[in-house]
Amino acid sequence: MKTIKLLSCLLAAILGNTAISFAEAPESLIRNLNNSSTYNDVVVERVLSADTIMIKGDKKIRLIGVKGPDAPRRPKTEYDKNGLPIEKPVLPENTFEEKAYAFASHLLLGKHIRLEFDESRNDDDFTTVAYVFLVEEGTFANTEIIRYGYADLQIKPPNLKYEEELRAAYREAREEKRGMQSN
Protein backbone atom coordinates (compact mmCIF):
# COMPACT_ATOMS: atom_id res chain seq x y z
CA MET A 1 0.00 0.00 0.00
CA LYS A 2 2.85 2.37 0.85
CA THR A 3 4.40 1.75 -2.60
CA ILE A 4 1.12 2.68 -4.32
CA LYS A 5 0.96 5.95 -2.37
CA LEU A 6 4.56 6.79 -3.31
CA LEU A 7 3.89 6.02 -6.98
CA SER A 8 0.73 8.17 -6.88
CA CYS A 9 2.71 11.08 -5.42
CA LEU A 10 5.47 10.65 -7.98
CA LEU A 11 2.99 10.53 -10.87
CA ALA A 12 1.16 13.59 -9.54
CA ALA A 13 4.42 15.53 -9.34
CA ILE A 14 5.46 14.57 -12.85
CA LEU A 15 2.08 15.52 -14.29
CA GLY A 16 1.92 18.66 -12.18
CA ASN A 17 -1.31 17.53 -10.56
CA THR A 18 -1.47 19.60 -7.39
CA ALA A 19 -4.79 18.03 -6.31
CA ILE A 20 -3.05 14.95 -4.90
CA SER A 21 -1.57 15.47 -1.44
CA PHE A 22 2.07 14.81 -0.68
CA ALA A 23 1.29 14.48 3.04
CA GLU A 24 2.13 10.78 3.18
CA ALA A 25 5.18 10.87 0.89
CA PRO A 26 8.66 10.85 2.42
CA GLU A 27 10.10 14.35 2.79
CA SER A 28 13.18 13.41 0.74
CA LEU A 29 10.97 12.45 -2.24
CA ILE A 30 9.13 15.77 -2.12
CA ARG A 31 12.39 17.72 -1.84
CA ASN A 32 13.89 15.84 -4.81
CA LEU A 33 10.81 16.41 -6.96
CA ASN A 34 10.67 20.14 -6.23
CA ASN A 35 14.38 20.62 -6.84
CA SER A 36 14.60 18.23 -9.75
CA SER A 37 17.94 18.43 -11.53
CA THR A 38 15.90 18.32 -14.74
CA TYR A 39 15.24 22.02 -14.20
CA ASN A 40 18.64 23.09 -12.82
CA ASP A 41 20.04 23.87 -16.27
CA VAL A 42 17.62 24.15 -19.17
CA VAL A 43 17.77 26.39 -22.22
CA VAL A 44 15.09 28.90 -23.14
CA GLU A 45 14.07 27.96 -26.68
CA ARG A 46 11.44 30.66 -27.22
CA VAL A 47 10.15 33.77 -25.52
CA LEU A 48 6.40 34.06 -25.98
CA SER A 49 5.92 37.31 -24.05
CA ALA A 50 7.50 39.27 -21.22
CA ASP A 51 6.11 36.75 -18.73
CA THR A 52 6.08 33.44 -20.63
CA ILE A 53 8.84 31.26 -22.10
CA MET A 54 9.21 27.85 -23.72
CA ILE A 55 11.91 25.38 -22.72
CA LYS A 56 13.00 22.10 -24.30
CA GLY A 57 10.15 19.72 -24.98
CA ASP A 58 7.71 22.52 -25.77
CA LYS A 59 7.16 23.08 -22.06
CA LYS A 60 5.54 26.46 -21.43
CA ILE A 61 6.66 28.28 -18.27
CA ARG A 62 5.00 31.40 -16.89
CA LEU A 63 7.11 33.54 -14.55
CA ILE A 64 5.66 33.75 -11.04
CA GLY A 65 4.77 37.26 -9.89
CA VAL A 66 5.12 38.78 -13.37
CA LYS A 67 2.22 40.12 -15.44
CA GLY A 68 3.62 41.35 -18.73
CA PRO A 69 1.81 42.86 -21.68
CA ASP A 70 0.47 40.57 -24.36
CA ALA A 71 3.01 39.45 -26.94
CA PRO A 72 3.27 41.85 -29.87
CA ARG A 73 2.15 40.76 -33.27
CA ARG A 74 5.40 40.25 -35.03
CA PRO A 75 6.42 39.23 -38.49
CA LYS A 76 7.95 35.84 -39.12
CA THR A 77 11.33 35.49 -37.42
CA GLU A 78 14.33 35.63 -39.73
CA TYR A 79 17.37 33.46 -39.03
CA ASP A 80 21.05 33.89 -39.89
CA LYS A 81 23.22 31.23 -41.56
CA ASN A 82 23.87 29.58 -38.16
CA GLY A 83 20.16 29.20 -37.47
CA LEU A 84 20.05 31.91 -34.81
CA PRO A 85 17.26 34.49 -34.82
CA ILE A 86 18.23 37.89 -36.20
CA GLU A 87 17.50 40.54 -33.57
CA LYS A 88 15.88 43.65 -34.96
CA PRO A 89 16.77 46.97 -33.31
CA VAL A 90 14.33 48.41 -30.78
CA LEU A 91 13.25 51.77 -32.17
CA PRO A 92 11.55 54.64 -30.29
CA GLU A 93 8.43 54.16 -32.39
CA ASN A 94 8.11 50.52 -31.35
CA THR A 95 5.11 49.71 -29.17
CA PHE A 96 5.52 49.01 -25.47
CA GLU A 97 4.63 45.36 -26.10
CA GLU A 98 7.49 45.12 -28.62
CA LYS A 99 9.92 46.72 -26.16
CA ALA A 100 8.86 44.38 -23.33
CA TYR A 101 9.18 41.37 -25.62
CA ALA A 102 12.61 42.54 -26.83
CA PHE A 103 13.82 43.01 -23.23
CA ALA A 104 12.62 39.54 -22.16
CA SER A 105 14.10 37.98 -25.31
CA HIS A 106 17.47 39.66 -24.76
CA LEU A 107 17.46 38.57 -21.11
CA LEU A 108 16.33 34.96 -21.63
CA LEU A 109 16.41 33.64 -25.21
CA GLY A 110 19.03 30.91 -25.64
CA LYS A 111 20.19 31.29 -22.03
CA HIS A 112 20.72 28.51 -19.53
CA ILE A 113 18.24 28.91 -16.71
CA ARG A 114 17.31 27.24 -13.45
CA LEU A 115 13.64 26.91 -12.57
CA GLU A 116 12.52 27.08 -8.97
CA PHE A 117 8.99 26.13 -7.99
CA ASP A 118 6.82 27.34 -5.13
CA GLU A 119 3.79 25.86 -3.37
CA SER A 120 1.73 25.59 -6.57
CA ARG A 121 3.43 24.48 -9.79
CA ASN A 122 0.50 25.44 -12.06
CA ASP A 123 -1.62 28.53 -12.56
CA ASP A 124 -5.38 28.66 -13.13
CA ASP A 125 -4.84 27.72 -16.80
CA PHE A 126 -2.71 24.69 -15.80
CA THR A 127 0.44 26.34 -17.18
CA THR A 128 3.61 25.56 -15.21
CA VAL A 129 4.73 28.55 -13.13
CA ALA A 130 8.24 29.08 -11.79
CA TYR A 131 10.87 31.49 -10.63
CA VAL A 132 13.54 31.78 -13.32
CA PHE A 133 17.23 32.31 -12.57
CA LEU A 134 20.00 32.71 -15.15
CA VAL A 135 22.53 29.95 -14.44
CA GLU A 136 25.67 31.86 -15.42
CA GLU A 137 25.00 35.20 -13.68
CA GLY A 138 22.52 34.05 -11.05
CA THR A 139 20.18 36.87 -12.11
CA PHE A 140 16.59 36.52 -10.92
CA ALA A 141 14.75 37.10 -14.23
CA ASN A 142 11.32 37.60 -12.66
CA THR A 143 12.52 40.64 -10.70
CA GLU A 144 14.60 42.04 -13.59
CA ILE A 145 11.62 42.21 -15.93
CA ILE A 146 9.59 44.00 -13.25
CA ARG A 147 12.52 46.23 -12.15
CA TYR A 148 12.94 47.60 -15.67
CA GLY A 149 9.21 48.28 -15.91
CA TYR A 150 8.38 45.73 -18.60
CA ALA A 151 5.74 43.99 -16.46
CA ASP A 152 3.43 44.59 -13.55
CA LEU A 153 3.59 42.79 -10.26
CA GLN A 154 1.08 39.96 -9.84
CA ILE A 155 1.32 38.17 -6.51
CA LYS A 156 -1.01 35.17 -6.19
CA PRO A 157 -1.03 33.04 -3.05
CA PRO A 158 0.14 30.42 -2.29
CA ASN A 159 3.26 31.31 -4.36
CA LEU A 160 4.83 33.83 -1.97
CA LYS A 161 8.41 32.56 -1.65
CA TYR A 162 10.02 35.64 -3.28
CA GLU A 163 7.21 38.12 -2.60
CA GLU A 164 9.49 40.69 -0.95
CA GLU A 165 12.05 40.65 -3.78
CA LEU A 166 9.30 41.03 -6.38
CA ARG A 167 7.67 43.89 -4.44
CA ALA A 168 11.03 45.65 -4.07
CA ALA A 169 11.61 45.44 -7.84
CA TYR A 170 8.12 46.84 -8.46
CA ARG A 171 8.70 49.74 -6.02
CA GLU A 172 12.00 50.53 -7.77
CA ALA A 173 10.30 50.61 -11.19
CA ARG A 174 7.60 52.95 -9.83
CA GLU A 175 10.11 55.25 -8.11
CA GLU A 176 12.25 55.46 -11.25
CA LYS A 177 9.15 55.71 -13.50
CA ARG A 178 10.30 52.92 -15.75
CA GLY A 179 8.21 51.27 -18.47
CA MET A 180 4.69 50.44 -17.39
CA GLN A 181 5.22 52.48 -14.23
CA SER A 182 6.04 55.73 -16.08
CA ASN A 183 2.52 57.13 -15.65
For residue range 104-126, what is the model confidence (pLDDT) as tens digits? Answer: 999 999 999 999 999 999 999 99
**Where are the chain's structural domains?**
1-34, 36-182
Helix (H) or strand (E) holding 3: helix 2-15
List the beta bridge partners of residue 140: 133
Residue 22's pLDDT band, with cuts at 50, 70 and 90, is: very low
Question: pLDDT at position 177, please?
Answer: 94
CATH topology of domain 36-182: OB fold (Dihydrolipoamide Acetyltransferase, E2P) (2.40.50)
Residue 83's pLDDT band, with cuts at 50, 70 and 90, is: confident
Helix (H) or strand (E) holding 106: helix 96-108
CB 64 within 8 A of CB 153: no
Separation of alpha carbons 146 and 1, rounded Å: 47
- The 10 Å CB-count burial string (b at 16+, else e) for 81-105 is eeeeeeeeeeeeeeeebbbbbbbbb
Separation of alpha carbons 106 and 47, rounded Å: 9
2 or 76: which leads in pLDDT: 76
Would you tell me how many other CB atoms lie within 10 Å of the CB of residue 24? 10
State yes or no: pLDDT of 34 exceeds 80: no
State yes or no: pLDDT of 43 exceeds 80: yes
Residue 183's pLDDT band, with cuts at 50, 70 and 90, is: low
166 or 74: which leads in pLDDT: 166
What pTM was computed for the model?
0.72
Question: pLDDT at position 127, please?
Answer: 96
What share of the chain in percent tops pLDDT 70?
A: 77
